[in-house]
Amino acid sequence: MLNIEINGKPFEAKEGETILEAVRRAGFEVPTLCYIKDLAPTGACRMCVVEVEGMPGLVPSCSYPAANGMKIHTHSARAVRARKTVIELLLADHPNDCLYCSRNNQCELQSLAADLGVRDERYAGAKSSYKQDLSSPSILRDSNKCILCGKCVRVCEEVQGVAAIDFIGRGSRAHIGTAFDEGLNVSSCINCGQCILVCPTGALTERTYIKEVVAALNDPEMIVVASHAPAVSVSLGEEFGLPVGTDVDGVMVAALRQLGFEYVFDTSFTADLTIMEEGSELVQRVSTGGVLPMLTSCSPGWIKFIEEFYPDLLPNVSTCKSPQQMMGAIIKSFFAERMKIDPKKIFSVSIMPCTAKKFEAARPEMMHHDVPDIDAVLTTRELALLFRMRGMDLQAVTPETADTPFGERTTAGKIFGASGGVMEAAIRSAFFLITGKELGDLNVEAVRGLEGRKEARVQIDGLDVGVAVVSGLTNAAKLLDEIRAGRSDLHFIEVMTCPGGCIAGGGQPLSTNKDKIRERMKALYRIDSNEAKRTSHSNEWVQRLYKEYLGQPLGEKSHHLLHTHYAEREVLL
């Protein structure tokens, strides 16, 4: 341990710890803009500068190691003045449209300006002007609001392994863009939205479909249906001041009905349906010598990633659609037929924690006779905004239950929202499908948690099944490289695009705080432990759907409605 002094108080720093880490552990706050916890610091923004006695200049605390005997002043007049100057210079080249910005009141630049008492425009001149990139179905870019912190670049490259964006130009002409400065739609962007979560300003936002949804709700000829993802109910409450991990499922259902949605369904139902199809597909591949290991297909960012970077492994990907798309397909087939509604008169809205779901809904493979499975996707953040626009306070809404038949779910479908949840649900049902018996202990602890990579061996009727769970696409890439190199001891691999799974999706409340993500995950497992039906094959309405309409898993109708195909994509590098 190192003996240091912070703002006149003695403190012990750890060997190898940076000043910023030591200061924050001591309970003092130093502002940052470019810093990302768990990634190597760059020291680019200079917001975190502190004064160290005996040193002639200010020190970037995020990248400077603590040393024995240091006397650190986090808020000396000199340090505060330097930070204020940084903010003033950034604002000098920043649009003054805060009232219209999607990040108003959630902007780090705005908050720092307020905290540092920036009330005058000391620096003025011509501002940079860039054309907005509106090409992506998921993510919008406004370089005029970019402060060049580089966080989006680092997350895209170091966490996701995609590197769709980078710094372009030098000096005053520097900006962030794609290869050849083209639109995101022709880049290697996988639409995951992790860049949005780390962006401190409104330079990166999701493409919003609130206007289209409101227009459909106001159209008397349209039947507007909502379906919400497993992770949304345990994160939406954060937008309304509720404790992290609060499950607002029933309240959300009631609020959606108040908005005008005629039917509200739970996508956890089609998560159960996915397990029936995907589990059956796995059993078929294992028993008939099919392509292994089988890779999950629930996460659309991951699907685009493998299409671009590992197309030779596409035969390993499950042909199952994601739960979102299965729900859309079932609503516009079985539900439309039973309710005697023209599918073209149904406007199906999917509420997701994921920006890539917007891209997925627009894929041509997800249409039947020019009718899309899903008409619009709203993120958790967009739903919260829509509620606020209508003056709704979730704490004052009386809970209601989702509509049957697609509101019934098991907890196996609910834990899809966490990394490892798909795998755990699949193991529970695969064991039953192979042996005809229930798995003794339904808690598969080996695949739970926020670790980016988890592996386990599962014994099913004498068969030693190797499984792996990865989240964050750099972790996925490492495992795929092992498979390319000949690794053959795995049968089933779950891949989630976002680190931690859907609970940390790009459409969730703006935070990358691991403690918050962990609380969301705990909430899903609390639901799983407290309810009786915990296996997808025990969902009675799923079984009725097969009996009355689909026939059987992997059958002709199931294959037509619930399965799809993927193909290699060209990458613009």
CA dihedral 551, 552, 555, 561 (to 10 degrees): 70
Pair 47, 83: CB distance under 8 Å: yes
Catalytic annotation present for 357 = yes
Interatomic CA distance for residues 312 and 483, integer angstroms: 11
Annotated catalytic residue within 278, 307, 308, 494: 278
Whose CA is closest to 467, among 485, 441, 442, 447? 447
Annotated catalytic residue within 145, 414, 502, 516: 502
DSSP at 207:
P
Catalytic annotation present for 195 = no
Catalytic annotation present for 182 = no
CA dihedral 507, 513, 517, 519 (to 10 degrees): -130
Interatomic CA distance for residues 206 and 102, integer angstroms: 10
Catalytic annotation present for 318 = yes
Beta bridge partners of 336: none
Catalytic annotation present for 278 = yes
Beta bridge partners of 320: 563
Pair 118, 91: CB distance under 8 Å: yes
Packing angle between helix 473-484 and helix 300-309, nearest 10 degrees?
Answer: 40
Annotated catalytic residue within 151, 321, 332, 357: 357
Annotated catalytic residue within 365, 445, 540, 568: 365
The number of CA neighbours under 13 Å toward the Cβ of 283 is: 21
What is the biggest distance separating any 2 CA atoms in the chain, rounded to whole angstroms? 80
Catalytic annotation present for 454 = no
Pair 360, 315: CB distance under 8 Å: no
Which residues are CB-contacts of 404 (< 8 A; sequence separation ≥ 6)?
A: 541
**Which strands, in side-by-side order, build the sheet including 59-60?**
9-13, 2-6, 71-73, 49-52, 59-60
Annotated catalytic residue within 45, 156, 298, 498: 298
Annotated catalytic residue within 108, 277, 281, 494: 281
Pair 84, 117: CB distance under 8 Å: yes
Annotated catalytic residue within 21, 238, 239, 360: 360
Interatomic CA distance for residues 463 and 446, integer angstroms: 18
**Residues with catalytic roles:** 278, 281, 298, 318, 357, 360, 365, 502
